[in-house]
Structure 1
Amino acid sequence: MLRKSLIAIALSSAIPASFANDASSGQNAVMEETLVIGVRQRLYERGALLDAIQKTEVVDESLIKSQQAVNLTDAIEKSPGVRVSNECSMCGVKRVMLNGMRGEHSTILTDGVPLHTMMAGYYAVDALATTGISRIEVVRGAGASLLAPEAIGGTINVISKEIEETGVNINASMEDNDSYFLGLMAGYLSDDEPTRTSLVIQDDKHHQMDNDGNGVSEAPLQENTSYVVRLSQDLGERDNLILRTAYTDSNIFGGPQGDSIGSVLHGYDGVESDHLFVDDDVRQQYIGKPWETTEWIATTRSEISGSWLHEFNESYNTLLTVAWSEHKQDSFYEGFDYSATDTLNYFDLRNNLILNDQHMLTFGVDLRDESMLSDSAAGAESDNYIEDSFDYQTTGLYLQDTWTVSPDLEVALAIRLDNAKADFVAEQKPGTEIDEIVVAPRIDLRYLHDDQWTSRVAMGRGYRAPLSFFETDHGILDAGDGFAIDIESLEKSLSATYALSFEGERLNSTLSLAFTKVDNLAALSETEDGVPLLSQMQESASVGAADITLSYALNDNLSIGGTLETYDYDDVFRESFAIAPVEQRALFNLDYKTDYWMLYASATWIGSRDLAEFGYEGFNQLGDSTLKSTNADAYWTLDMKLTFDVSENLSLYLGGNNLTDYTQVEEGETPLFWDASGAYDVAYIYGPLRGREFYMGFDWNL
């Protein structure tokens, strides 16, 4: 049994779960045992993988559909320890925060491959389609992945759905205000089952919102289209090849009401208005030129990846992965244009060797080469403009020993040795800013107290190169004279987490505690000339996080659950945030199912906050000394979805999001404000900006 456990760990933690699931019934013994044991199949009902050493939250396909989650951020935002932060009312940039860390400390993986570049974590996160997704695995804490040591907060692994039969699924819905969602997945499975091919197409649109009617949106228009083609081919009994290509097109347009981006750009004259609002009050009607409050971001992402799994014998297998991605952005920020191309090349050669019934080694080498080139026509008009282009390379060696000490105790000891180089390549920035060799150790431990209680402990080091001016709020907006850099060290972190899980016949629960300390944390400020300056904090920053989840099956049809979370930031970390993070959150859910009906409801409570602690200061009226309120009251939101199964293959559904219709604009403050220098900004954000929305649709298998 110990040997089987090691084999399962080899193919679940060292190889993306999608590869393990590709084994056909005629595969070798290792692959068969993986399917039989199902290390990642016995899921803790709320998301913890009880058969994984690391604590992992899982959002599976059924929960994705219950939540009507169109994109990645919708799917995971209610998971324990996950917070999706909206950091701009115009451009809609979203940040996925894990364990209370900032968004840039989270790494997104696709089938275990780190395909996402630095820029990809800021725009087009909302364009990551959920059609064709089997599940999303969230692992929190530094060193959460052998392949992603820069994941100081943790990793989000998006797992593709495996084809089980030839067919087509169509999921479509209409929302109010001309919003819609269309997802199509077509799959082909050959008769002898060595070939699985899938095509995914998703198209969705989310409308602008102007809740206070002043002519400026609080939430932007978002239009996304995604295409994915995937092939899994078994080559005999010991080899499997997976090829995947994807393309995403995303457009975000926020600001003036009733204008198109074409008309806005056509009307740009570079001459600022004397007044933007009636009485210079952001709560009054907007009277400025459309371009003066327009933020438009057009993004395209292209991905190609290939993985070859070869088994030499029952004790040794190898996985070779190569990947390429290109993230292109063309944007306009209130008069400043910015375009960039961020290209990533990735290589990984991983080996899994079972030494005996107690030890399995995972070892290998990976290479990551990222290049970002930016340009600005407006910036080029200035003699002092400095671009923010960079080259970033890492070369890493890694080794992990998965040690089954006893049937009740498993330990994974891992270490990475990386050479990280970061170079801002503008002529005005000679030399290489960062060239460091980093040792990143990690330990994960799982102990089964009995059949119901399980403890998990994880400690690890992470690192990250601060490279992007998107990392803090609107570093891009004031870049008319370029970007100033004062970066010379990697961010380095230490984290420790503990989780205690209980699995009963009806009651499931997990208590999680986490602490993370970061040195050289990136911060954005300005030079004396007003140029955005990316620098690093001299003091260490830390955050503690605690959460508890419970679920209880009242009967075979009805289950309820809840999560309570709290975060404790030190003063250094508070200073680094542009948008106040959530400090207390409670989530409650209800799931009711009968033969034909299914009702899912989810309520979220956010605790009150003192925004002054996070540096909030702004004015509604220019020249008025009355500050905007820094008291963010607690609030509730409620989401519901009702589904009716017309037949085995067709379901109809209707639902609504934010049924309490709470927005910070109607209940408190607009996100628009004037700062102390008299500049106009759009990010005084602490609550929801989208109000009540309804939808109805169908899910049809052909």
Structure 2
Amino acid sequence: MKPTNLAVILAILFSSQLVASEQGSNGEAVDIEHLSVIGVRQRLEQAGTLANTIMKTEVISASMIENKNAVNLSEAIDNSPGVKVSNECSMCGVKRIMLNGMKGEQTTILVDGLPVHTMISGYYAVDAIPTTGIGAIEVARGAGASLIAPEAIGGTINIISYEPTENGAELDISAGENGYRKLGFLGKGVSEDGATRATLVAQYDDRDQFDADNNKVNEAPQQENRSLTGRVSHDITDFDNLVLRFANIQSEIFGGPMLGSAFADGSASSIGNVLSGYDDQFSEPQHLFEDGDVRKPFTGKAWETTEWIKTERNEASLVWLREFNDDWNMHLAASYAEHKQDSFYEGFDYVAGDKMWFFDVRFNHLLNDDQLLTFGADLRTEKMRSHSRTGSTNPDYVSDSFDYDVKGLYLQDTWQATQDLEIAMALRYDTITADFTDPNKPGIELDESILSPRVDVRLRHNDQWTSRLSAGRGYRAPLSFFETDHGILDGSLGFDIDIDELERSNSANYALSYDNGQFTSTASVAWTEVEHLAALTTNEHGIPLLTQLDEKASVITSDIALGYRLTDELTINVTGEHFNYDSVFKSSYAVAPIEERVTLTLDWDIKDWELFANLVWVGSRDLSEYGYEGYNRLDANGQVDPDSKKASDAPSYVTLDLRVNYQFNDYMSLYSGVSNLFDYTQAGNEESPLFYDADGAFDVGYIYGPLRGREIYAGMKLAF
């Protein structure tokens, strides 16, 4: 019997029982206290005619996000298996979400399965994506992990919106050290017939600058975020569902000189005060810090270390799901994203606007009881335009503006070969064009077609053991100079491009899982190889150059996750991970990634109390393998002091987060916690991320450890 037929029969039986229950023995109607209505989309998902669940996917639940006290996306997913959020600039706090050891730009962020992030919004936007209103986060690792995101060489992060089941509202208020504040609101509405479900989400959060070594230059910037999101899901008929979503996200980041301090150009009393102090007269590098030493107080002009980024993102999407019959359904989707950035990088101003449209038409056909065929086509078009007042004074200035267009066809066959064996085989065909549009960059840099196959296999050995095997091919067009923050810091000279190939990847992943209800384990190993890997360097004139490596680069990731329910109230989870990068990949990283990590979590429910603990150990690394070389001090002549050479060994470290929650009643809970209990930071316990290179130039990226210290917080959550 087909799953959809079974669902219909069960619905009819349930309805007949409901009618019977509405009538007493005398045939008179009686009141019903509650009626659950399953929408079109939920019914098809339950019937298995929409989603493919064969692939190994880690799910971060809403309760886990809450236990982490995660304010934004990067905090919610960090330290999950195979996931590392890399902080690659101590001034601007730019983040990279790394999956399976891949670089951050090789990760694609989706919302409800749709791309709503432009090329340049994946760098500062992840810290502005609110966690209020998130139902879950799905992490799928490996190339081609999504039918509509083949450019996700590392994998995809899919943010699942909260779907309401009742009317009400939630308010979450918290505050803590280092200026931490958060206000989150979730409004929920469901129509009487259950056909319309709506949410309104608003969040405000901010944090102050953090300076552990008291040299008057922060290691973590000030950030203020505001967001407003609305979502409506409406069943037009018993066979049609529409989902409309819109979001506006605003973020302001200020990093560099500690606000309120006095510097060579006066007091840095406000962001406006610092920016207005720009005079285009740069200090000599040896005069930026007392005695030319980055470990001592900053003595230069405030704007000389200032990195200010103000962004606004608008997102909109519309999805129509149509069920024709038990065997056919159709999915039509359109999404729009606009990213606007106004920024100042230590004397260089950069303004950019990036607009992206995405369209997808997809059909699902149930060939028989055991086989589902999915096929469709999609179109992505993106235009980014940038300009700089500083750069325009240079007649040879070349902008990094680009056009990017992708047209794709895809086909997937999901086959239940036996009761225990499931196979999904997918193939995409894409035509890609990428053009840097500055008049000084004639011609189209990329004009290619590519086939991207992927296969996913799930084999149930018995009731406890399951194997999953995935292999696939992906691609990515390297277009953004934000691939490393240094590419934008030197942008006043212009941007040089030497890109003529797509990044192409092959990947394979195997996972073995065990689950007996009390003990769970998953061991996995993943291999990824990338050809034409993008890298950022400078040309002979010192201009940032986006180029590609000649050698192939590869990463092998292995991890094991163990979970044990000691009692009904106490659960312990342990994850161990190892990342093995080859020398080519190591040479491409701006900041050294982790190589070994162990994570231990404890979740203990005691009546109305819940205690959550998360301990993370990160192993030591040899920074010289990643090209690290730096000095803490310049002499009076601007030459590096050889005795001040920075350490090339990054020590291992441990961080611990704790949170306790008390459910006061059905409508209110109180919580308190601490992030980074041991207050371990690179600048406070080891050395500053600031440095001079061998030529005496000042830089900010000698990063290998945590940059923000202990943060104690408390809050309350109210339900109405």
Query: TM bucket by the smaller chain?
Result: over 0.9
- 2:401 aligned residue: 389
What is the rounded CA distance, in whole Å, between the counterparts of 1:34 and 1:540 in structure 2? 40
Q: CA deviation at 1:505?
A: 2.3
Q: CA deviation at 1:35?
A: 3.5
Point out the more displaced range, 622-631 or 73-82: 622-631
Cα 1:329–1:86 shift into 2, 3 Å: same
What is the rounded CA distance, in whole Å, between the counterparts of 1:382 and 1:470 in structure 2? 21
Q: CA deviation at 1:6?
A: 13
Equivalent residues, number? 677
Is 1:247 equivalent to 2:230 in the alignment?
A: no
Cα 1:401–1:176 shift into 2, 3 Å: same
What is the rounded CA distance, in whole Å, between the counterparts of 1:38 and 1:222 in structure 2? 43
CA contact (8 A) 1:2 1:404 kept: no
- 1:659 aligned residue: 677
CA contact (8 A) 2:676 2:710 kept: yes
CA contact (8 A) 1:247 1:302 kept: yes
What is the rounded CA distance, in whole Å, between the counterparts of 1:123 and 1:180 in structure 2? 19
| CA shift digits 1:223-271 (9 cap, x unpaired) | 0000001111111100000111100000110011123220011111010
Is 1:587 equivalent to 2:599 in the alignment?
A: yes
Q: CA deviation at 1:272?
A: 1.1
| CA shift digits 1:411-461 (9 cap, x unpaired) | 000000000000000001000000000100000000000011000000000
Unaligned runs of 5+ in 1: 9-22, 41-50
- 1:160 aligned residue: 161
Q: CA deviation at 1:36?
A: 7.2
- 1:671 aligned residue: 689
Secondary structure of residue in 1 paired with 2:273: helix
Secondary structure of residue in 2 paired with 1:492: strand
What is the rounded CA distance, in whole Å, between the counterparts of 1:567 and 1:227 in structure 2? 38
Is 1:269 equivalent to 2:279 in the alignment?
A: yes
| CA shift digits 1:594-615 (9 cap, x unpaired) | 2200000000000000000000
Cα 1:79–1:376 shift into 2, 3 Å: same
Of the candidates 685, 690, 697, which is equivalent to residue 708 of structure 2?
690
- 2:612 aligned residue: 600
- 1:567 aligned residue: 579
Cα 1:424–1:312 shift into 2, 3 Å: same
Paired-residue identity, %: 54
Q: CA deviation at 1:479?
A: 1.4
- 1:143 aligned residue: 144
Matches within 5 A, 1:264-303: 264-274=274-284, 275-303=287-315
Is 1:78 equivalent to 2:79 in the alignment?
A: yes
What is the rounded CA distance, in whole Å, between the counterparts of 2:120 and 2:399 in structure 1? 15
- 1:476 aligned residue: 488
Q: CA deviation at 1:52?
A: 2.3
- 1:48 aligned residue: none
Secondary structure of residue in 1 paired with 2:483: coil
* Matched AA of 2:700: V
Matches within 5 A, 1:123-142: 123-142=124-143
CA contact (8 A) 1:6 1:360 kept: no
What is the rounded CA distance, in whole Å, between the counterparts of 2:90 and 2:5 in structure 1? 49
Point out the more displaced range, 314-323 or 173-182: 173-182
Matches within 5 A, 1:121-270: 121-257=122-258, 258=260, 259=268, 260-270=270-280
Secondary structure of residue in 2 paired with 1:475: helix
CA contact (8 A) 1:7 1:354 kept: no
What is the rounded CA distance, in whole Å, between the counterparts of 2:164 and 2:339 in structure 1? 28
Matches within 5 A, 1:293-332: 293-332=305-344
What is the rounded CA distance, in whole Å, between the counterparts of 2:662 and 2:587 in structure 1? 49
What is the rounded CA distance, in whole Å, between the counterparts of 2:192 and 2:255 in structure 1? 50
- 1:19 aligned residue: none
Matches within 5 A, 1:463-542: 463-542=475-554
Secondary structure of residue in 1 paired with 2:368: coil
* Matched AA of 1:523: A
Cα 1:451–1:522 shift into 2, 3 Å: same
CA contact (8 A) 2:88 2:485 kept: yes
TM-score under structure 2 length normalisation: 0.92
Of the candidates 598, 604, 614, which is equivalent to residue 626 of structure 2?
614
Is 1:577 equivalent to 2:578 in the alignment?
A: no
Cα 1:384–1:241 shift into 2, 3 Å: same
Return the index of the structure with the highest Cα Rg: 2
What is the rounded CA distance, in whole Å, between the counterparts of 1:588 and 1:62 in structure 2? 17
* Matched AA of 2:223: Q
CA contact (8 A) 1:245 1:302 kept: yes
- 1:14 aligned residue: none
Is 1:25 equivalent to 2:67 in the alignment?
A: no
- 1:363 aligned residue: 375
What is the rounded CA distance, in whole Å, between the counterparts of 2:379 and 2:44 in structure 1? 31
- 2:646 aligned residue: 628
Unaligned runs of 5+ in 2: 9-34, 261-267, 635-639
Q: CA deviation at 1:218?
A: 0.6
* Matched AA of 2:112: D
CA contact (8 A) 2:594 2:618 kept: yes
CA contact (8 A) 1:6 1:404 kept: no
* Matched AA of 2:406: T
CA contact (8 A) 1:168 1:187 kept: yes
Secondary structure of residue in 2 paired with 1:65: helix
Secondary structure of residue in 1 paired with 2:680: coil
Q: CA deviation at 1:2?
A: 6.8
Q: CA deviation at 1:472?
A: 2.1
- 1:87 aligned residue: 88
| CA shift digits 1:652-691 (9 cap, x unpaired) | 0000000011001122110000111211111100000111
CA contact (8 A) 2:39 2:195 kept: no
Q: CA deviation at 1:92?
A: 0.4
| CA shift digits 1:459-492 (9 cap, x unpaired) | 0000000000000242101112100000000000
CA contact (8 A) 1:6 1:359 kept: no
Is 1:549 equivalent to 2:561 in the alignment?
A: yes
| Structure 1 outlier segments of 4+, above 3 Å | 1-8, 30-40
What is the rounded CA distance, in whole Å, between the counterparts of 1:7 and 1:694 in structure 2? 49
What is the rounded CA distance, in whole Å, between the counterparts of 1:24 and 1:422 in structure 2? 49
CA contact (8 A) 2:5 2:326 kept: no
Cα 1:263–1:31 shift into 2, 3 Å: closer
* Matched AA of 1:663: T
What is the rounded CA distance, in whole Å, between the counterparts of 1:6 and 1:452 in structure 2? 27
Q: CA deviation at 1:195?
A: 1.0
Secondary structure of residue in 1 paired with 2:482: coil
| CA shift digits 1:109-140 (9 cap, x unpaired) | 00000111110111121000010000000000
What is the rounded CA distance, in whole Å, between the counterparts of 1:177 and 1:689 in structure 2? 13
Q: CA deviation at 1:33?
A: 6.4
CA contact (8 A) 2:49 2:372 kept: no
Secondary structure of residue in 1 paired with 2:463: coil
Cα 1:548–1:270 shift into 2, 3 Å: same
CA contact (8 A) 1:296 1:333 kept: yes
* Matched AA of 2:180: S
Cα 1:5–1:53 shift into 2, 3 Å: farther
CA contact (8 A) 1:390 1:423 kept: yes
Cα 1:39–1:559 shift into 2, 3 Å: farther
Q: CA deviation at 1:31?
A: 5.1
What is the rounded CA distance, in whole Å, between the counterparts of 2:50 and 2:479 in structure 1? 37
- 1:117 aligned residue: 118
Q: CA deviation at 1:648?
A: 1.2
Q: CA deviation at 1:32?
A: 3.5
* Matched AA of 1:360: L
What is the rounded CA distance, in whole Å, between the counterparts of 1:220 and 1:6 in structure 2? 56
What is the rounded CA distance, in whole Å, between the counterparts of 1:128 and 1:5 in structure 2? 40
- 1:459 aligned residue: 471
Secondary structure of residue in 1 paired with 2:554: strand
